Structure 1
Amino acid sequence: MDSPPEVTFAPLLFGGIAFMLLAAGALVLFLVVYQKRLLQQQLRLRAAEATHQQALLAAIVEAQELERERIGRDLHDGIGSTIATAKLLVHRLEGPQPLDDRADLLGLVKEIMGTAVQDVRTVSHSLYPVVLARFGLAEALQHLVDVSNEAGTLAVELEVEYPRPLALAQELALYRICQELMHNAFKHAVGATRLGVQLRQRGTLLTLAVDDDGCGFAQPAPGPPALAGAGVGLRSIDVRVQLLRARLHRASGPGQGTHTRVELPSAFVV
């Protein structure tokens, strides 16, 4: 006598249920392992980001301390010695003996004090550019170029196309980058006859470019700039570029000048 159909179907049903339970268990196990690996990857990324942020912070602190050291040296060696010289001349003018060159000494004192006033303005402007806070980046760059042309032997040319101003913090970072690039050109661009500065805002891109026709230098190995391996000035530029989330391009070669471009994408343009 044949067995009822439901009795024959029972093993198939139990087998299907067991297979579904095994599949569900395998899926749960896969999800648990996947979530664990994803969490580990996120932790590694956070650790790498934290290490990078610490390197940036250390570079910023170092650059600030060295900038303070430079300003202190300028105050002591430049303004301090100038005022000390003026003080000696004033004491000489106050002496009891008559002086035939009193008028000449007085004129020299006035000239020295005028130089000291100009040096104070230069140092105060390097600490914080008041023109930037009052009138914006374009006027601050124009003032920086004018002062450089008055004080230096290298002619600086400025081109500005800047219709939509950025936030003050972004403008200050771009100003410091330009200031450092110009300082590097004055110091290292041997044989240069001109220095070009361009600030252009076209479409979705803002570009700051500083170019000279000096001696140039050999290009380093390709790859991202190492904060610990570059000079203080270059590290400060790299730090500010990263804080702006901008792109930095450098091109140079012996006898080919130095060309530096900072590109700020539209996502961070106000």
Structure 2
Amino acid sequence: MVAPPEVTFAQLLFSGIAFMLLAAGSLVVFLITYQKRLLHQQLRLRLAEAEHQQQLLTAIIEAQEGERERIGRDLHDGIGSTISTAKLLLNRLESLPAHAEDAQGLLKLIREIMSGAVQDVRSISHSLYPAVLARFGLAEALQHLVDVANETGKLPILLEVDYARPLALAQELALYRICQELVHNALKHAHGATRLVVSLLQQGPLLTLTVEDNGCGFEAANAAGSAPPTRGAGLRSIDVRVQMLQGHLRQHSVLGQGTRMVVELDTTMA
């Protein structure tokens, strides 16, 4: 028996409505599931970002404490010892006749010691905040850093600069601190080195700071971005500043052939 057309149409209508309701329900379930996954992913990203910020904060605090410890050690071992020596000489000078030959010699020695103390104070003051950077910019500040380091006679340092488009003072200060720490590390750890080369080169938007020595090197993976076996407060401080600049730190070292540290910065992002 053939169903009337009205019955067939009603069946088709109900089937279409049921299919649409089923599709709509499936779409709602999909949207709810997708939204939950999206919220979960955003939560994980926020947690990861918060953890990263906490790690940065910890590294910054460690770096600051390391710098304070170094300054305190310089004050105690350098200026403190110098002033103590000058005080002992003054006490000895008071016990001598005014026109004694030894008195004149002691007075000359005290003047030399105090001149050294003044120089130490200037050096520590410059390490706290390089005034030449604020006045003349990064290139002149690096030249002053190299000149002061060369005066110590520990290791000849060569400087190469091609820096035509200066950055903001905050970025320049961060780059200066990075270079200062890299030079300090090289002078301290590059045993057997005969030269140290510092270069600041600008090619288009790419700014590259390189500190390279031909010293002892270290045993570590030579791949770009690899880390030495131990990372002290100095390297953590460098890492933090590089991340703040949104740059990249690469290091390459071969045992007995030296170490090359490279900081690359996209100036359009700085």
What TM-score comes out, normalization by structure 2 length?
A: 0.94
> CA 1:90–1:161 in 2, change beyond 3 Å: closer, same or farther?
same
User: Bigger shift: 34-43 or 93-102?
Assistant: 93-102
Letter in 1 for 2:260: H
Give CA deviations for 1:157-215 in whole Å, capped at 9, x if unaligned: 00111111111111111111100110011011011111000001111200000000111
Query: Which runs of 5 or more structure 1 residues have no equivalent in the other structure?
Result: none
Offset at residue 225 of structure 1 (A): 6.7
**Which residue of structure 2 lines up, in the alignment, with residue 173 of structure 1?**
174
SS of structure 2 residue aligned to 1:210 = strand
Gaps (5+ residues) in structure 2?
none
| Alpha-carbon distance, 1:255 to partner | 1.1
Whole-angstrom CA distance in 1 between matches of 2:22 and 2:269: 51
> Using the alignment, how far apart are the partners of 1:122 and 1:268 within structure 2?
33
SS at 1:215 equivalent = coil
Secondary structure of residue in 1 paired with 2:101: coil
> Following superposition of structure 1 onto structure 2, how do residues 198-209 of structure 1 map, counting pairs within 5 Å?
198-209=199-210
Give 1:250's aligned residue: 251
Q: What secondary structure is seen at the aligned counterpart in 1 of 2:268?
A: helix
Query: What residue identity is the alignment partner of 1:90?
Result: L
C-alpha displacement at 1:143, in angstroms? 0.4
Which residue is 2:73 aligned to?
Answer: 73
My pick for the range that moved more, 175-184 or 6-15, is: 6-15
Cα separation, 2, equivalents of 1:56 and 1:79: 33
Task: List 4+ stretches of structure 1 deviating above 4 A.
Answer: 1-4, 220-226
Shift of 1:86: 1.1
For 1:223 and 1:128, locate their aligned partners in 2 and report how far apart those are by CA, in whole Å.
32
Identity %: 69
Counterparts of 1:149-160 in structure 2 under 5 Å? 149-160=150-161
Q: CA deviation at 1:92?
A: 2.1
- The whole-number CA distance in structure 2 between the counterparts of 1:96 and 1:196 is 51
Alignment of 1:82-231 (within 5 A): 82-95=82-95, 97=97, 99-220=100-221, 230-231=231-232
Q: Kindly provide the amino acid, as one letter, of the partner of residue 86 in structure 1.
A: A
Q: After TM superposition, give the deviation of residue 76 of structure 1 in Å.
A: 1.2
CA contact (8 A) 2:225 2:249 kept: no
Letter in 2 for 1:66: G
Taking only aligned residues, the RMSD between alpha carbons, in angstroms, comes to: 2.0
Is the CA contact (8 Å cut-off) linking 1:225 and 1:238 kept in structure 2?
Answer: no
Structure 2 Cα separation of the partners of residues 147 and 2 of structure 1: 106
Question: Structure 1 counterpart of 2:220, which letter?
Answer: Q
> Contact 2:224–2:252 (CA<8 Å) still a contact in 1?
no
In structure 1, the residue corresponding to 2:121 is in which secondary structure? helix
Shift of 1:72: 0.9
Shift of 1:77: 1.4
Between the aligned partners of 2:123 and 2:40, the Cα distance in structure 1 is 52
CA offsets 1:235-265 (integer angstroms, 9 cap, x no match): 1111111111101110001111100100001
CA distance in 1, matches of 2:149, 2:3: 105
Distance 2:267 2:62 in 1: 30
- Mean Cα displacement is larger for which, 87-96 or 65-74? 87-96
- Look up the SS of the partner of 1:268 in the other structure: coil
Aligned residue-pair number: 269
Partners of 2:150 and 2:157 within 8 A in 1:
yes
